[in-house]
Amino acid sequence: MAKILELRVGPPGDALDRFEAAWNRVAEGRKVSPLRVLSLGDLPALVRTLTPARWSLLENLRRDGTVSIYGLAKRVGRDYKNVHTDVTALLETGLIQKNAEGEIEVAWDVVRAELRL
């Protein structure tokens, strides 16, 4: 089964509504399936977070597998410092993660975006 990350652009209240719904399900003794959602406040925040260069890094990691930041910079032919900056931003948002060996990887097969007006 594909691992899907939902990327949502909308007001902060949407994330709070999801939290409240999960809290109520737990309080009622119902099962809660984990949501894998990254919420961003608006389209400019999405564009700042997921630049074309960062999307390219995600694609490379998904296609070619885990690697160190240095190895990723060599693989994509970019300056280490710039790749390190991009990787740090992607780690902070949860779009990529570090494994037990300290290498970076993409945990998602699909990133599904929802943009609310």
For 59, the domain range is 4-115
Residue 23 has pLDDT above 70, yes or no: yes
Residue 2 has pLDDT above 80, yes or no: no
- What is the rounded CA–CA span in Å between residue 95 and residue 79? 21
Rounded (10°) CA dihedral 50, 51, 52, 54: -70
- What is the rounded CA–CA span in Å between residue 110 and residue 70? 25
The pLDDT assigned to 112 comes to 85
Q: How many domains are contained in the chain?
A: 1
Under DSSP, the state recorded for 105 is E
Structure confidence by residue, pLDDT tens digits, 69-89: 999 999 999 999 999 999 999
CATH assignment at residue 18: 1.10.10.10
The pLDDT assigned to 34 comes to 64
pLDDT band at 15; cut points 50, 70, 90: low
Mean pLDDT of 84-105: 94
Residue 26 has pLDDT above 90, yes or no: no
3-state secondary structure of 107: coil
pLDDT > 90 fraction of the chain, expressed in percent and rounded: 44
Structure confidence by residue, pLDDT tens digits, 30-70: 886 666 778 888 888 888 989 999 999 999 999 999 999 99
The pLDDT assigned to 114 comes to 77
